[in-house]
Structure formats: structure tokens, C-alpha cells
């Protein structure tokens, strides 16, 4: 017995020693090491801020119903860009797609270098009339109050469009000749599916234009959002989830509710829904692992210990990740039953019962694998499956490529207190339409948000600090200049 106890004691001590050793050695500081900070460019801050504010005032709203689009607003926005950035309009070629989406092309000297594409979108989501009165500043005012710029589009996504245009205007004013071609692509309906971006992507494909890398909106600098660390963290999207709606439909003869069958169409459908919700997709920690590899060293011991010892504690880690909807969204294909349809009257049996289930597809899963999963778990031929609004998950862009390295180093050279890591975009961007035009698609905007300001995306009181906007101009200028001359 003493030998057994001794053996158990030694084993426990050894395991504890290994666990703590790994907690202190597995995660290394592999952040880009800054040897020379970026020299900020001179910006006419007052003029830049007013150009941005005036852009916010223009109601370039996207609606799901495309007939509601206001052409005058988008044409006014185009004119605002033309009036505000004369050098850009003199020295680039401008093309329009689907009437309102824009592509600017700056020609480079070396045709052997692949071009670089910077993306953003001009449109914004509507303001809910039921909550418009809750805005602290009018939603399309562009008011600048106490170092803050207010209005719809301030962070999604006129900040990208205007900051890019400011950076290119300054670049051209310096008389720098780019070695590679530079393209800007500004969609007009990203918030409603991105038909403009699709048209642009088809044009590039028809012209056999491939890009060294593409940068779109998406990731940002998070403050207090990533659990376990207080450091600001820049998350660069290297992939984004796909999406698909599956309609589950059950048909029956209907009739009067006084003579119901054992299971109505609605009841059969309800049973199918329960099966779908009770059988979620398998978790995959690859993308969270990418983040931990880069920022794990900065986390406290309580976080590092389980993350560095998945060989022992993986079930606990997975349970913690899946218990939080935010982290769970990065670890699996998500399932959300969103719409239901049955009878139109309480005493009438439904002839058709339908549910819409929205899936956000983790790279590695596909629309067909989701269909196979549904067929297996529902296991009822009375439930028909059909799809709508389908888009596969993106491929995963490498972190060793020039594009990622330039984005990473530029962020760190602007502010080396910011940690940089790749991550998975759980929403959708216009860049999803550009798969096949580059293997290196990244999603990031130089905007710092915390838990409070993050909720302003598509919500109340959208705003951006003046410093954030000026930082975005500095970021895009530095990236533009480096990309224009990099081999």
C-alpha cells in the first residue's frame, strides 16, 4: 500500500510539475519586434475631420429591398469624394460597377509585381426609427463633439473609405511613383449582400487580375474584449465563416383542428427542430489556437495553465469555450433557428409548416456537409430541406505572407503596446466575393473598440474618436506606401 501511495504521490507531483512548466514555456512572445517606429505623416486634421463628417451626413443607406435605395445619396457621395480628393481623381482610373460601386486604379511601374487591393464600403445600415430618439447626437449629423465623431458609418465603414482616400491623396501629393498597381474597391451594398462587390470581382476575374494581397474591413483593435488580458489586441481576420439558410418544410393535408392527426405538420417540424438544436456541430479549436499562440504569453497564469495543457485539460477548455456564445462562434459551425411559419388561424391545421435555420459555417465544413448532418440527425423523410442565401466559408490566408507581415508590422510600429494575432471573422465582408483572386485576403481596420463601443456596430450612438480616425489614416498611408514599393 505504501508503494502505491508513494507512486501516486510521485505521479501527481510529476504531472503538476509538467503542467506548470508548460504554462510558463509553451507560449512565447513572437510579436513583431519594433526597431524603428513609424514616422507619422503630416495631416491637415481639421480638413480631414470635416471631410469625414460631411461623408457621414450623406445617407447612403442599404436596404434588403433594393428598390428603396436612394440613387441621389450615392451620387452625392461620389461627388463628395471627387471634390475632396482631386489628386486621386486626376491620377487614377475610376470605374463604376452596378451604377454605384467604385474602383480606383493607380498604375505602377513594374508589371511583374502583382497589384494590391484595399477594400471598404460606402453604404450603411438604416437607423431604427423606434430608437432614433435615443441617439445622443443625430445619427446622420457627423457632429464632432469632445473629440468624438458621431453618426451612422463612423465605424462601419465610412472610416475605411475616407481614411483610404485621405492616405492616397497624401501619397500622390508626395509625388511617389508606385512600383506595383494599387486598387481601391468601394462597394455600395455590402450591407445588403454585396452585388456591387460581386460585379467588381467578376470584372477582375475576367481581366485575369490577381492580387498580392487584399485588405478589407473586419478585424480591429480590441480593448478588454479578449478574456484574460488587458492588453489592446489587434485581431486580423485570416478567414471568415460562410453562411447558409436551410428551410425545413413539412407538408400535410390540413383540415380543421377539431379532427387532428397524431402529429400535425407543425408538430413534425417541431420534433425536427429539437433534433437539430440537440445535435450541434463538432467543435474545432484551430482558430482559437491561432490566437493563443500569439497572445497566450500575455495572459495570466490562470489562463495560460489550461490553454498550454490541452493534453490533460482539453475537455475543461472546450466546455468553457462552448459555454460562451462569443467564443463558441469561433469554435464550431453555429446553428440558429430564426423563422417559423405554420397555419394562419388557430383552428386550422397547417398544410405547410416551415422553419428557417441559419448556419454560420466554420472553414472545414461545407454546405453539403451541413445538409448531410441535417439528414442524419432529423432522419425523417417528411421533412424537406432546401437552401437559400448560401455562401461557403472562406479559405484560410497564411500569416507568413507579405500582406499579413506588412499589416502586423505597421500596427506594431504605430503602437508597440498593441498585440497582434490572426483570428476568424464570424460575420461576412465583401472580400468573400474575391476568393480566387488572391490566396492572401486579410480583414482589419485600425480602429480601437471596447465592449461598450463594439455594440454600436449597427446599433445606437455609432461614433469614433478623432484620434482613432487619424490613426486609421496613418495606418493606411504607411501600408499603402510600403505596399507600393515592396517587391
Going by pLDDT thresholds of 50, 70 and 90, the confidence category of residue 188 is very high
Question: Are 157 and 296 in the same domain?
Answer: no
Question: Are 262 and 287 in the same domain?
Answer: no
Q: Is 10 within the bounds of a domain?
A: yes
- CA geometry: angle at 64 spanning 58 and 70, to 5°? 30
- pLDDT score for 455: 81
Which residue stretches of 1-107 are H helix?
2-25, 45-57, 71-84, 86-91
Instruction: Tell me the percentage of the chain whose pLDDT exceeds 90.
Output: 92
C-alpha cell at 242: 460562410
Q: Is 36 within the bounds of a domain?
A: no
Is residue 141 helix, strand or coil? Answer: coil
Residues linked to residue 424 through DSSP beta bridges, in sequence order: 239
User: Rounded to two decimals, what is the model's pTM?
Assistant: 0.95
Question: Are 264 and 371 in the same domain?
Answer: yes
Number of domains in the chain: 3
Rounded to the nearest integer, the mean pLDDT of the chain is 95
Q: Is residue 379 scored above 80 in pLDDT?
A: yes
Question: Are 401 and 370 in the same domain?
Answer: no
DSSP notation for 368-407: HHHHHHHHHHH--TTEEEEEEEEEPPPPPPPSSSHHHHHH
Q: Is residue 230 scored above 80 in pLDDT?
A: yes
Q: In 10 A of CB 325, how many CB atoms?
A: 8
Q: What is the mean pLDDT of residues 232-236?
A: 97
Q: Is 160 within the bounds of a domain?
A: yes
Q: Is residue 413 scored above 90 in pLDDT?
A: yes
398 alpha-carbon distance from chain centroid = 17
Q: What is the CATH number of the domain that holds 146?
A: 3.40.630.10
- pLDDT score for 305: 93
Q: What is the mean pLDDT of residues 335-344?
A: 97
Q: Is 31 within the bounds of a domain?
A: no
Q: Max Cα separation, the chain?
A: 88
Q: Is residue 313 scored above 80 in pLDDT?
A: yes
In this predicted structure, which of 325-329, 384-388, 446-450, 454-458 has the lowest mean pLDDT? Answer: 454-458
Q: Dihedral (C-alpha) 182, 187, 190, 194: value to the nearest 10 degrees? A: -100
Pairwise CA distance, residues 218 & 431, whole Å = 10
Q: Is 39 within the bounds of a domain?
A: no
- pLDDT score for 452: 83
In this predicted structure, which of 189-203, 218-232, 352-366 has the lowest mean pLDDT? Answer: 218-232
Is residue 258 helix, strand or coil? Answer: coil
C-alpha cell at 441: 485576403
Backbone torsion region of residue 218, taken as left when φ is above 0, otherwise alpha when ψ lies between -120 and 50, otherwise beta: left
Q: What is the mean pLDDT of residues 323-345?
A: 95
- pLDDT score for 228: 72
Give the residue carrying C-alpha cell 506594431: 412
Q: What is the mean pLDDT of residues 171-197?
A: 97
Question: Are 303 and 198 in the same domain?
Answer: no
Q: Is residue 136 scored above 90 in pLDDT?
A: yes
Q: Is 404 within the bounds of a domain?
A: yes
Q: What is the CATH number of the domain that holds 337?
A: 3.30.70.360
Question: Are 477 and 413 in the same domain?
Answer: yes
In this predicted structure, which of 14-18, 407-411, 442-446 has the lowest mean pLDDT? Answer: 14-18
Of 126, 131, 102, residue with least CA distance to 192: 126
Question: Are 472 and 428 in the same domain?
Answer: yes
Q: What is the mean pLDDT of residues 262-284?
A: 97
Going by pLDDT thresholds of 50, 70 and 90, the confidence category of residue 457 is confident
- Report the catalytic residues: 123, 190
Question: Are 377 and 257 in the same domain?
Answer: yes
Going by pLDDT thresholds of 50, 70 and 90, the confidence category of residue 176 is very high
Question: Are 231 and 252 in the same domain?
Answer: no
Residue predicted with more confidence, 6 or 91: 91
- pLDDT score for 328: 94
Q: What is the mean pLDDT of residues 272-292?
A: 95
Q: Is 40 within the bounds of a domain?
A: no
Question: Are 253 and 378 in the same domain?
Answer: yes
- pLDDT score for 182: 98
Segments forming the whole domain that contains residue 275: 242-279+332-392
Which residue stretches of 146-189 are H helix?
158-173
Going by pLDDT thresholds of 50, 70 and 90, the confidence category of residue 278 is very high
Q: Is residue 94 scored above 90 in pLDDT?
A: yes
Do 362 and 332 form a contact (C-beta atoms < 8 A)? yes
Pairing of strands 182-187, 419-425: unpaired
Q: Is 35 within the bounds of a domain?
A: no
Instruction: Tell me the percentage of the chain whose pLDDT exceeds 70.
Output: 100
Of the three residues 374, 392, 410, the one that is the final residue of a domain is 392
Question: Are 77 and 222 in the same domain?
Answer: yes
- pLDDT score for 224: 85
Question: Are 120 and 67 in the same domain?
Answer: yes
Pairwise CA distance, residues 425 & 420, whole Å = 15
Using one digit for the tens of pLDDT, what is the confidence trace for 460-470?
A: 999 999 999 99
Amino acid at each position: 500500500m505504501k508503494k502505491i501511495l508513494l507512486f501516486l504521490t510521485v505521479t501527481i507531483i510529476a504531472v503538476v510539475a509538467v503542467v506548470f512548466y508548460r504554462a510558463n514555456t509553451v507560449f512565447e512572445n513572437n510579436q513583431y519586434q519594433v526597431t524603428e517606429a513609424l514616422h507619422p505623416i503630416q495631416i491637415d486634421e481639421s480638413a480631414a475631420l470635416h471631410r469625414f463628417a460631411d461623408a457621414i451626413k450623406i445617407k447612403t443607406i442599404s436596404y434588403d429591398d433594393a428598390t428603396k435605395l436612394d440613387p441621389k445619396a450615392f451620387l452625392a457621395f461620389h461627388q463628395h469624394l471627387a471634390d475632396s480628393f482631386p489628386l486621386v481623381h486626376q491620377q487614377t482610373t475610376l470605374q463604376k460597377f452596378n451604377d454605384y460601386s467604385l474602383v480606383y486604379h493607380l498604375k505602377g511601374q513594374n508589371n511583374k509585381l502583382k497589384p494590391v487591393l484595399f477594400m471598404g464600403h460606402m453604404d450603411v445600415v438604416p437607423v431604427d426609427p423606434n430608437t432614433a430618439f435615443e441617439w445622443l447626437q443625430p445619427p446622420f449629423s457627423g457632429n464632432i463633439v469632445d473629440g468624438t465623431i458621431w453618426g451612422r458609418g463612423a465605424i462601419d465603414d465610412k472610416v475605411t473609405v475616407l481614411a483610404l482616400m485621405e492616405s492616397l491623396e497624401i501619397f500622390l501629393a508626395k509625388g511617389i511613383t508606385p512600383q506595383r498597381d494599387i486598387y481601391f474597391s468601394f462597394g455600395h451594398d455590402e450591407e445588403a449582400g454585396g452585388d456591387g462587390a460581386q460585379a467588381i470581382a467578376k470584372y477582375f476575374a475576367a481581366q485575369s487580375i490577381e492580387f498580392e494581397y487584399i485588405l478589407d474591413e473586419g478585424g480591429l483593435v480590441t480593448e478588454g474584449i479578449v478574456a484574460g488580458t488587458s492588453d489592446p489586441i489587434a485581431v486580423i481576420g485570416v478567414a471568415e465563416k460562410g453562411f447558409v439558410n436551410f428551410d425545413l418544410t413539412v407538408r400535410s393535408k390540413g383540415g380543421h383542428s377539431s379532427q387532428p392527426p397524431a402529429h400535425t405538420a407543425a408538430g413534425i417540424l417541431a420534433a425536427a427542430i429539437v433534433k437539430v438544436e440537440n445535435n450541434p456541430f463538432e467543435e474545432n479549436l484551430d482558430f482559437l489556437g491561432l490566437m493563443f499562440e500569439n497572445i497566450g504569453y500575455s495572459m495570466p497564469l490562470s489562463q495560460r495553465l489550461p490553454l498550454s495543457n490541452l493534453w490533460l485539460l482539453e475537455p475543461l477548455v472546450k466546455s468553457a469555450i462552448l459555454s460562451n456564445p462569443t467564443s463558441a462562434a469561433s469554435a464550431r459551425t453555429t446553428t440558429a433557428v430564426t423563422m417559423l411559419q405554420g397555419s394562419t388561424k388557430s383552428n386550422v391545421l397547417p398544410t405547410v409548416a416551415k422553419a428557417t435555420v441559419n448556419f454560420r459555417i466554420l472553414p472545414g465544413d461545407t454546405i453539403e456537409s451541413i445538409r448531410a448532418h441535417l439528414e442524419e440527425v432529423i432522419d425523417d423523410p417528411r421533412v424537406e430541406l432546401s437552401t437559400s442565401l448560401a455562401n461557403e466559408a472562406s479559405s484560410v490566408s497564411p500569416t507568413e505572407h507579405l500582406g499579413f507581415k506588412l499589416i502586423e508590422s505597421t500596427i506594431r510600429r504605430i503602437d508597440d503596446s498593441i498585440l497582434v494575432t490572426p483570428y476568424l471573422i464570424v460575420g461576412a465582408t465583401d472580400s468573400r466575393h474575391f476568393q480566387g483572386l488572391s490566396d492572401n485576403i486579410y480583414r482589419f481596420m485600425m480602429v480601437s473598440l471596447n465592449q461598450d463601443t463594439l455594440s454600436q456596430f449597427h446599433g445606437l450612438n455609432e461614433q469614433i474618436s478623432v484620434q482613432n480616425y487619424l490613426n486609421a489614416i496613418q495606418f493606411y498611408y504607411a501600408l499603402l506606401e510600403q505596399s507600393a514599393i515592396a517587391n
